[in-house]
């Protein structure tokens, strides 16, 4: 499992002993809301609903995607619209959300005093570089395309780049980027030969991914007509081209992306290349509100074709191309390296040193972060518990019933209609976004009827369904690890569990001195796992009994919902921990250079030595299945829940 996402929240104390931030400065900062989905491999993805500062809107809206007149596009537009209202109403709605204590996050391991800081004021304040299974950190540092000994028909010739006039290229670019009202562009074939027409066809498709071409006769003249591929045709199987035998079947490349999650990025790339998303593979999903760098593999698409996307896509860059004979697999990575900026910090130099030394030497409690549990008054773990209990009426009710909290207006209307009529068709009419879980469940109920909720629920994508039961596992684990630390502190004790290879064993009385807290693991409840031989083992049983579940029989009659157990370290000690405190005046300027900045030769802005604000720049590496949010929590000693942050910050949200 892997998690690299981070809440876009401001971790800030309103009345610090070290002084309150300048009122004009803090007005710029807004709170964002986040919901999380988990796939069946434990990979996590994130959807962020921003309430951005107007001065920072330029950061979030400049990616380009094909304009398909489809339900999917309509859903995306609606999901991107801002219906959350003003900050005060948002804060008021979030009073019904979760706090850390609601999901078992209650302990710290360090003794230093906490301080305030603003996390992710800009998405560029949070940078993630993937660490491959060989320990190599992925960087975008090379745009060159590898040269083959053999020529591939798919690779455009030199003539491709000169056959179109500058005027043709401008018209085609405007068509591609939907900057005009035309639905097609006609290019007259002056030298009407089959060879010439072929070169023009290739030029348009190579230089302007997402466009299709056809030949037409008009008034006795031949024209190449360029137009947008639409609907399912755009996602048809790629044309069959000769592929050199000496070339690996997969093109591996480094994807640099800004403010877009991994699956959204894959969907954009697939649409522009006119291929299906499932020919892409990757080792882990990465956060949306961040700059992330990771390796991607794609089946039988040339590096040259991929490199052309750099000319027409914003917020993405592709590079470091190579051909290999294998795809990538989820989970095959060592972790991620983070570069994080906490702006407008209030801590003294001594407080910061103590906090960062503790993070490096002791680490942090390996809690599942708040994004695992949703943001509304109905936590995802409650739905997961109902699934495990085989209580399908409860599952349906929890997903569809009205709930207080921050939600889109159309969801509120849908829930109200459901509560009033229990009519799936009527509720669905109130819901323009059909791809959300609520819409999928309602369509399932329409198809299978109210007496077959199991089949109706099965319409929801498998990854989303499993997210609920993984959330329940996480809820149990968080509560149990808090009890374990409260009961026994930061030392290994007899009866604890440790891993010997992939097998968990109990630490015996005479062997306890050979272990530290960093060796101790706790089980995620499921079949074929063992539990600690002390009070915490009994606490697991008590918690599941209270939830009407049998800890000794976690197999569900529906195979997908059988909980397979696993083990998770109690304490994570980050690697490669470094930090620096810098001064700055302008919150809009970057405080470090990215891979793309370095490639483009952009210098780091000169920072004042006596700026009115201070920032903590930190770097650290984490293994898969750990939450960077929890590392930041340990440094700042702050509740990372959106509910807490909005309540703390209602004065400066206005």
- pLDDT tens digit string along 353-376? 999 999 999 999 999 998 889 877
Contact 12, 117 (CB under 8 A): yes
Task: Output the CA–CA distances (angstroms, integers) from residue 591 to 33, 126, 203, 579, 605, in the order listed.
Answer: 25, 11, 41, 13, 7
Contact 256, 319 (CB under 8 A): yes
Contact 395, 22 (CB under 8 A): no
Where residue 240 falls among pLDDT bands split at 50, 70, 90?
Answer: very low
pTM recorded for the entire structure: 0.73
Average pLDDT over residues 146-170: 67
Determine the pLDDT at residue 61.
30
End-to-end CA distance of the chain: 39
Determine the pLDDT at residue 237.
40
* CB neighbour list of residue 477: distance below 8 Å, 6 or more residues apart: 104, 368, 522, 523, 524, 525, 568
217 labelled catalytic: no
Q: What is the enclosing helix (H) or strand (E) of 253?
A: strand 250-258
Q: Would you say residue 616 has pLDDT above 70?
A: yes
Distance CA 353, CA 349 (A): 6
A 10 A CB-CB count for 496 gives 26
Catalytic one among 287, 496, 595, 639?
A: 287
Task: Output the CA–CA distances (angstroms, integers) from residue 12 to 1, 26, 124, 244, 640, in the order listed.
Answer: 30, 10, 19, 57, 10
SS3 299: strand
Shortest CA distance to 458 belongs to which of 437, 447, 438, 444? 444
Q: At which residue do the structure tokens 């549990």 appear? A: 373
Distance CA 479, CA 266 (A): 36
A 10 A CB-CB count for 29 gives 21
Distance CA 509, CA 498 (A): 13
Distance CA 480, CA 491 (A): 16
Per-residue pLDDT tens for 397-407?
A: 999 998 876 67
Per-residue pLDDT tens for 2-35?
A: 444 333 344 544 333 333 333 333 333 332 333 3
* Residue 585 exposure: Cα atoms within 13 Å on the Cβ side: 7
A 10 A CB-CB count for 197 gives 18
Q: Would you say residue 617 has pLDDT above 80?
A: yes
Write down the mean pLDDT value for the chain: 80
Distance CA 439, CA 430 (A): 10
DSSP letters, 304-337, are HHHHHGGGT-SSEEEEEEEEESS---TT-EEEEE
Per-residue pLDDT tens for 71-85?
A: 444 444 344 443 334
* Tokens standing for residue 136: 């190599």
User: Helices in 362-435 by DSSP H: which ranges?
Assistant: 380-388, 392-400, 409-421, 424-429
Contact 174, 211 (CB under 8 A): no
Distance CA 335, CA 357 (A): 21
* % of the chain with per-residue pLDDT over 90: 48
Contact 290, 255 (CB under 8 A): no
Distance CA 380, CA 369 (A): 13
Determine the pLDDT at residue 58.
29
* CB neighbour list of residue 350: distance below 8 Å, 6 or more residues apart: none
Q: Would you say residue 218 has pLDDT above 50?
A: yes
Beta-bridged to residue 516, according to DSSP, are none
Average pLDDT over residues 111-119: 88
Q: At which residue do the structure tokens 């590898």 appear? A: 146
* % of the chain with per-residue pLDDT over 70: 78
Beta strands in 503-592 (DSSP E): 503-506, 520-524, 566-569, 571-572, 575-584
- The residue with greater pLDDT, 319 or 175, is 319
Per-residue pLDDT tens for 453-495?
A: 999 999 998 888 999 999 999 999 999 999 999 999 999 999 9
Determine the pLDDT at residue 406.
62
Burial label for 18, CB within 10 Å (0-12, 13-18, 19+), is middle
Task: Output the CA–CA distances (angstroms, integers) from residue 573 to 360, 569, 621, in the order listed.
Answer: 6, 10, 9
Determine the pLDDT at residue 329.
93
Label each residue of 467-495 as H, E or C. HHHHHHHHHHHHHHHHHHHHHHCCCCCCC
Per-residue pLDDT tens for 250-272?
A: 999 999 999 988 888 998 998 88
Q: At which residue do the structure tokens 């997210």 appear? A: 467
Beta strands in 97-210 (DSSP E): 117-119, 126-132, 184-188
Distance CA 426, CA 420 (A): 10
Beta strands in 344-456 (DSSP E): 364-365
Q: CA angle at residue 75 from 70 to 76, to 5 degrees?
A: 100
* CB neighbour list of residue 331: distance below 8 Å, 6 or more residues apart: 1, 2, 41, 42, 43, 283, 284, 624
SS3 53: coil
Determine the pLDDT at residue 407.
72
Contact 537, 566 (CB under 8 A): no
Contact 38, 3 (CB under 8 A): no
Distance CA 124, CA 499 (A): 38
SS3 398: helix
Distance CA 132, CA 320 (A): 14
């Amino acid at each position: 499992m892997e998690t690299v996402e981070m809440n876009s929240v401001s971790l800030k104390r309103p009345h610090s002993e070290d002084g309150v931030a300048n009122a004009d400065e803090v007005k710029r900062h807004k709170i964002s809301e986040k919901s999380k989905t988990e796939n069946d491999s434990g990979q996590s993805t994130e959807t962020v609903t921003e309430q951005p500062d107007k001065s920072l809107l330029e950061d979030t809206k400049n990616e380009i995607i094909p304009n398909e007149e489809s339900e999917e596009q309509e859903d995306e537009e609606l999901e991107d619209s801002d219906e959350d209202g003003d900050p005060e109403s948002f804060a008021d709605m979030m009073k019904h959300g979760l706090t850390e204590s609601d999901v078992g996050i209650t302990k710290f391991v360090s003794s230093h005093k906490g301080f305030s800081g603003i996390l992710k004021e800009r998405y560029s304040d949070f940078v993630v570089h993937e660490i491959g299974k060989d320990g190599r950190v992925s960087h975008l540092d090379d745009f060159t395309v590898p040269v083959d000994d053999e020529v591939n028909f798919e690779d455009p010739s030199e003539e491709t780049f000169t056959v179109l006039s500058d005027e043709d290229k401008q018209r085609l670019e405007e068509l591609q980027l939907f900057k005009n009202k035309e639905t097609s562009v006609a290019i007259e074939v002056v030298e009407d030969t089959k060879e010439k027409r072929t070169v023009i066809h290739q030029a348009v498709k190579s230089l302007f991914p997402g466009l299709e071409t056809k030949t037409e006769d008009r008034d006795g003249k031949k024209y190449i007509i360029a137009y947008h591929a639409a609907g399912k045709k755009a996602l048809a199987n790629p044309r069959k081209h000769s592929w050199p035998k000496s070339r690996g079947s997969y093109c591996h490349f480094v994807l640099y992306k800004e403010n877009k999650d991994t699956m959204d990025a894959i969907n954009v790339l697939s649409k522009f290349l006119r291929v299906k998303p499932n020919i892409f593979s990757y080792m882990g999903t990465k956060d949306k509100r961040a700059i992330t760098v990771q390796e991607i593999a794609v089946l039988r698409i040339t590096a040259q074709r991929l490199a052309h996307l750099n000319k027409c896509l914003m917020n993405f860059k592709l590079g470091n191309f190579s051909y290999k004979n294998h795809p990538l697999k989820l989970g095959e990575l060592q972790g991620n390296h983070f570069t994080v900026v906490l702006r407008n910090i209030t801590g003294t130099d001594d407080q910061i040193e103590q906090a960062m030394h503790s993070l490096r030497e002791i680490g942090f409690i390996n809690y599942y972060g708040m994004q695992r549990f949703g943001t509304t008054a109905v936590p995802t773990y409650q739905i997961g518990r109902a699934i495990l209990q085989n209580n399908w009426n409860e599952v349906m009710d929890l997903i569809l019933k009205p709930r207080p909290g921050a939600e889109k207006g159309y969801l509120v209307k849908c829930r109200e209609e459901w509560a009033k009529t229990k009519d799936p068709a009527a509720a669905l009419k109130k819901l323009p976004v059909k791809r959300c879980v609520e819409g999928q469940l309602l369509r399932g109920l329409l198809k299978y009827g109210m007496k077959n909720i199991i089949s109706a629920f099965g319409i929801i994508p498998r990854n989303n369904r499993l997210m609920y039961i993984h959330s329940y596992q996480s809820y149990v684990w968080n509560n149990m690890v808090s009890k374990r630390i409260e009961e026994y502190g930061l030392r290994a004790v007899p009866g604890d569990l440790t891993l010997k290879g992939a097998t968990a064993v109990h630490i015996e009385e005479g062997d306890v001195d050979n272990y530290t807290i960093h060796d101790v693991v706790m089980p995620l409840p499921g079949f074929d796992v063992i539990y600690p031989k002390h009070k915490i083992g009994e606490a697991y049983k008590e918690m599941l009994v209270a939830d009407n579940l049998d800890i000794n029989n976690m197999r569900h009659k529906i195979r997908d919902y059988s909980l397979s157990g696993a083990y998770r370290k109690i304490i994570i000690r980050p690697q490669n921990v470094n930090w620096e405190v810098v001064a700055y005046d302008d919150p809009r300027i970057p405080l470090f250079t990215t891979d793309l900045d370095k490639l483009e030769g952009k210098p780091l802005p000169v920072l004042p030595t006596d700026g009115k604000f201070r920032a903590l720049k930190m770097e650290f590496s984490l293994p898969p299945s750990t939450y960077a949010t929890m590392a930041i929590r340990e440094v700042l000693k702050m509740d990372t829940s959106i509910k807490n942050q909005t309540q703390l910050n209602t004065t400066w949200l206005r």
